[in-house]
Every structure is written in C-alpha cells, then in structure tokens.
Amino acid sequence: MDVINALPPTSDRETDMPPPSPLDALRRLRISCIAEAITLLLLLCVAVPLKHLAGANWAVHLMGPVHGLTFLVHGWLALRTASEANWRGTDTAALLGLALVPFGGFVNAARLSRRIDAQRAEAAR
Amino acid sequence: MMTLAVLYPWLKALHVAAALVFVGGVSAGALCLSAAPHAAGAQVLAAVLERWDRYVTTPAMLLVWGLGLGLATMGHWFDSGRWLIVKLVLVVLLSGLHGVQSGRLSALRRGAAARPWRAAPTVVVLVAGIAILAVVKPF
C-alpha cells in the first residue's frame, strides 16, 4: 500500500469523490479517432507514393510505426471506453473496423460527437 | 557519443522491464475483476488498482509498444521471420484485454455492478506464447 500511496494525488483518488466525467473518455476517444485517421492518410497518400515514385523508403519507415502506435492507442482507448460504458458489441466493432478504412476515423469521430451531444443534452435535463 | 549498438541492449533491458511491469498489472487486474462479484470491498480495491493502472501499468504498456517497435526497426527484426508478426498479434491481444479490464475497473470504482470475468488463464497463455516466440524465435 505504501507504493500505491506514493503515486501522485488525483482529484478522484478516493471513492467518495465525484468520478471523472464519462464525456472526458469520449472526447479522448474522438481525438484518437482523428489522429488515427490522419496518420493512416499520411501513410497511404504520402509515404507509400513517395516510396514507389521517389524511392524514399524512409517515409514508410517513419510513418509505418507512427501509424501503428496511433492505431494501437486508438484500439486500446476504444476497448476501454466501450468496456467502461458497457457498449453494445456492434458499436465497438464499428469503432475498430472503421479505423481500418481510410477516412473511417473521421466517420467514427462524427459518430462520437453525436454521442457526446446526446450525453450533454441528457445531463442538462 | 552513444552509438545504436551501445544503446540497443539498454533499450532491450528497458523493454523487458516494462513488459514485466505491464504483465504484473494485467494479472492483478484480472484477479481483482474475477474476485469482485464475490468479494466485499471490491470497490475500494478497484480504486487502488485503477490508480496503479493509470500511473504504472498503462505507461509501462506504452513503453513496451514504443520500445518494441523501435527495437524491431533498429534490429531489422521485421525481416527475420514470421515469429515477430505472431508475437505482435499476441501483444495486441494482451493490450486489448488490458483495455477492457481497465474500463471494467473504472466502472467498478464508480459503483457499477461487478460482472463475471475470467481472463487470468488467457493472460498466462498469451504471456507464455510471447516469451516463447521472443526467446526461441521458432519460425
């Protein structure tokens, strides 16, 4: 327990404190959707053509791992958020599946924006 | 001036250390969640584990990914055989399992009802597979 108590203090460290807003998790997930979509487009539309047309292998060697890491972070956040809020399996599958398709991340971000708006409206009621 | 050859074993050691910490955190989360439906005080335990997850296990997982991809690129391991691809798949599965557990721990801390969860055997199988592939490099 000493090691646990040595961790940095947080505003929600005790169970009697208000929990963090579920909207924060959705906002983080939306950012990861956009980042994933941008890195996928940079990989497919910039790095791959540079490799084949100009022989610039470095572009793929740079963007491949960058997109890989971004995709992993997105997938991890998607599973975490879906699991915390107990989403339907189809919603989670769509969030992960669309991330594999160019521009799919932007569709995911738009869907999440609608979900955020709905939750905000519900909280305001 | 540090060359890549000098740096490589240090990065590899850090990768292994981060992997051990990550696996420890995932195992602890799996055990906590499997006990939660039957245990008194599960919410407090979930709060403690969630903090550990946020400040230790998740950063360790990010280090494992970052260093692992860096080492594979530096050491040209992607050209060495299919073992690394299979290992990557197992690491992604373990990371996904951790993501699900992390969400469940957070829900449990917020007072949601504990749901049945039996992931500990899967964690053991995945970790054994990763270790065998990394050390033996069978194909």
Nearest residue in A to B41, CA atom: A15
Q: Token pair 């602890």 is at which residue?
A: B28
Question: How far A62 CA lies from chain B's nearest CA (Å)?
Answer: 10
Question: How far B69 CA lies from chain A's nearest CA (Å)?
Answer: 7
Per-block mean pLDDT, blocks of 10 residues, chain A (125 long):
52 49 86 95 93 89 90 94 90 92 93 89 81
- pLDDT number for residue A21: 66
**Quick check: B43 and A78 CB within 8 A?**
no
User: pLDDT tens digit string along B17-67?
Assistant: 999 999 999 999 999 999 888 877 888 888 899 999 999 999 999 999 999
Residues whose CB is less than 8 angstroms from the CB of residue B4 and which lie 6 or more positions away in sequence, other chains included: B74
Measured distance CA(B72)–CA(A79) in Å, rounded? 26
Residues whose CB is less than 8 angstroms from the CB of residue B137 and which lie 6 or more positions away in sequence, other chains included: B80, B81, B83
Residues whose CB is less than 8 angstroms from the CB of residue A55 and which lie 6 or more positions away in sequence, other chains included: none
Chain A, chain B: beta-carbon pairs less than 8 Å apart: 71
Residue type at A2 in one-letter notation: D
- pLDDT number for residue A5: 53
Tokens of B69: 């991809």
Choose the closest CB to B103 out of A7, A75, A82. A82
Question: How far B111 CA lies from chain A's nearest CA (Å)?
Answer: 9
- pLDDT number for residue A14: 46
> What's the number of CA atoms in the CB half-sphere (13 Å) around residue B61?
25
The ipTM (two decimal places) reads: 0.86
User: pLDDT tens digit string along B94-120?
Assistant: 999 999 999 999 998 888 888 888 899
- Identify the weakest region by mean pLDDT among A18-32, B78-92, B118-132: A18-32
